[in-house]
Amino acid sequence: MAMVLRYVNKEEEAIEKFLCVQHVSSTTSSSLEEAIERFFATTNLSMSKVRGQGYDGASNMKAVVEVLEWIKDDNNQDNFDETITNELSQALQKKNQDIVNAMALVEVCKQRLQSLRNDDFGDLLDDVQKFCQEHDIVVPNMEDLHFVPGKSRHKAPRLTNFHYYHVNLYVQVLDTQLKELNDRFNEVNTELFLCMTCLSPVNNFASFDKAKIVRLAQLYPQDFDRMDLINLPIQLDNYIHDMKMHSEFSSLRGIGDLAKELVKTGSCASYILVYKLLTLALVLSVAIVSVERAFSAMNIVKTPLRNKMGDRWLSDSMLAYIERDVFAFIEPIMRLFHNMKHCR
């Protein structure tokens, strides 16, 4: 399991860093959770600041851990609790406005698959039979019992060809697709992403929707208490009026640019609740590309001639290879120590 940390720094930039490869005994969600907890315990990181974990669509071995690093004053208390948004999809790695289009397409896809499952098998069967007749392919009688070639007929379940092709193949495939979509795009996740897009400054805050932004805050009950939810609508009214008055906010291209401009102008102190929502939104957008790069690097580091490389050596080698911009500063330090005289 590749561990990638996503956090927001003091300049309000969303940063992703590869940390290590964690060995897991199995690919179940409980095993992945235990591996993440062990990693946090050994690295002195706080699980209370975790705001989500995401998995690549191709394999749940490729896990992304998002961590929210709040920049706080000395007088503030650090009492954040965990708010998990599981299995965020890599399909939502697009620009803010594209998220709305992507979620609409997901809903359309769900409805079309459900319609195919319930009503369209007969039409499909007719098309298949016509195709077979045109190409002189033998069409089995749908009322006959279905038998698998090479298997004992005495122990075979008594299923007709129609039942086998309709239920065991057609319906099962569509149910698998629907389950995958429903798991990855459940109502909470869909609402979360659609509410997040309302923070976008694109086209002079054309997507702004106060009710949806308040709903977004309600999805993080440990970060917004009752008084925050009362004050947020009032702050949003002042915020959107202020943003549309200043030209420096009119040409921003995304939530990241908006957060940086708020810090640059000092407006983050005036609109602290909006600023907190922007930080949560920046952490929420999981970029699976970092994990993909990690697994691509594994093919380079662990070659067939190094197939006995241990977990620790593999993880350390991948860290030095992937985060080369950080390790670029180490070579001068090594030369410095190499040229020094021997000490006692």
93-132 pLDDT per residue, tens: 444 445 666 667 777 888 888 888 888 888 888 888 889 8
Q: Which residue has the higher pLDDT, 232 or 20?
A: 232
Provide the whole-model pTM. 0.59
Does position 53 have pLDDT exceeding 80, yes or no? no
Does position 71 have pLDDT exceeding 80, yes or no? no
Structure tokens at 22: 């964690």
Q: Which residue has the higher pLDDT, 62 or 234?
A: 234
Does position 79 have pLDDT exceeding 70, yes or no? no
Residue 238 confidence (pLDDT) = 93
Does position 161 have pLDDT exceeding 70, yes or no? yes
Residue 288 confidence (pLDDT) = 58
% residues pLDDT > 90 (the chain): 8
* pLDDT level of residue 231 (50, 70, 90 thresholds): very high
Lowest mean pLDDT among 53-62, 92-101, 120-129, 146-155: 53-62
DSSP assignment letter at 145 = B
What value does the mean pLDDT take over residues 46-71? 48
Residue 178 confidence (pLDDT) = 85
Does position 78 have pLDDT exceeding 50, yes or no? no
What value does the mean pLDDT take over residues 145-165? 72
Distance, in Å, from the CA atom of 116 to the CA atom of 111, rounded to the nearest integer, reads: 9
CA quadruple 220, 225, 231, 233: dihedral sign: positive
Does position 301 have pLDDT exceeding 70, yes or no? yes
% residues pLDDT > 70 (the chain): 78
Does position 86 have pLDDT exceeding 90, yes or no? no
Residue whose pair of structure tokens reads 């006692």 in the numeric block: 344
**C-alpha distance across the termini of the chain, in Å:** 43
Distance, in Å, from the CA atom of 123 to the CA atom of 121, rounded to the nearest integer, reads: 5
| Neighbouring-strand partners of residue 5 | 17, 65
Asked whether 56 and 288 are in contact (CB, 8 A), the reply is yes
Residue 165 confidence (pLDDT) = 84
Residue 73 confidence (pLDDT) = 35
Mean pLDDT of the chain: 76
How distant, in Å, are the alpha carbons of 72, 89, 238 from that of 271? Answer: 15, 30, 9
Residue 129 confidence (pLDDT) = 87
Q: Which residue has the higher pLDDT, 318 or 60?
A: 318
* pLDDT level of residue 214 (50, 70, 90 thresholds): very high
> Of 226, 221, 225, whose CA–CA distance to 82 is shortest?
221
